[in-house]
A and B are shown apart, each in its own frame.
Chain A
């Protein structure tokens, strides 16, 4: 029997699916400017909104985004 939390996760993802979604390559290309905008407080910048949907549905890209953001945040000059 599948854990109900897995079902919830699957159907939440299904519900939020859009006809066109950016790929992992496109996400990788947008990472650097997006993280800098995020750290600069521009949380509603178009590039961030574009990325947000992909990051909600791709755990590996999300982990890399958060790691880059956290790393830059910890840099003394950031």
Chain B
């Protein structure tokens, strides 16, 4: 939490504890005994606390403004990563595929999710909250976008190893 007062922390802790207790009681029948009960229960408290902390840290950020212009988020110069002319040319070619997929094959939501989470490092929870969605749905959105990028790159002759070799080791 940015600059919390003692009472803010106490209130947040109390809210999280109550929410965690409700979640534990609600999901009690799901405990299968494949861990200690306390470990199983603690994860609810940790989840609540971290979600609340992220909310506090990002509450003054306008995600609407941040998500705008998602399509223009990906300007990149292949020369920026150095290397010989042949490597730079191949990198530019691969990046052209990436840009093409982002611009023409991903949905607007996928473009926004990539920009928010990958470029702006918005916590996934915050995007979930902003969209009134679920973690699973947003994770799937991103997974499908990554999969599309991977398969299109492979179709154009760029294996995962090629891609890591061309773009890895950025400073």
Question: Which A residues fall within an 8 A CB radius of B?
Answer: 1-2, 4-17, 19, 21, 23-25, 28-29, 31-33, 35-36, 57-60, 63-64, 67-68, 71-72
Instruction: Assess the A16–B160 pair: CB atoms within 8 A.
Output: yes
Instruction: Assess the A11–B35 pair: CB atoms within 8 A.
Output: no
Q: Which of B1-9, B14-22, B74-82 contacts A (4 or more CB under 8 A)?
A: B74-82
**Can you name 29 A-B residue pairings with CB atoms under 8 Å?**
A2-B73, A2-B74, A2-B75, A4-B76, A7-B95, A7-B167, A8-B167, A9-B118, A11-B163, A11-B167, A13-B118, A14-B146, A15-B161, A17-B146, A17-B149, A23-B140, A24-B135, A24-B136, A32-B36, A33-B34, A36-B36, A58-B124, A58-B139, A68-B39, A68-B43, A68-B46, A71-B46, A72-B39, A72-B42
Most central of A14, A63, A71 by chain B CB within 10 Å:
A14
Task: Give the distance in Å from the alpha carbon of A68 to the alpha carbon of B139 in the complex.
Answer: 21
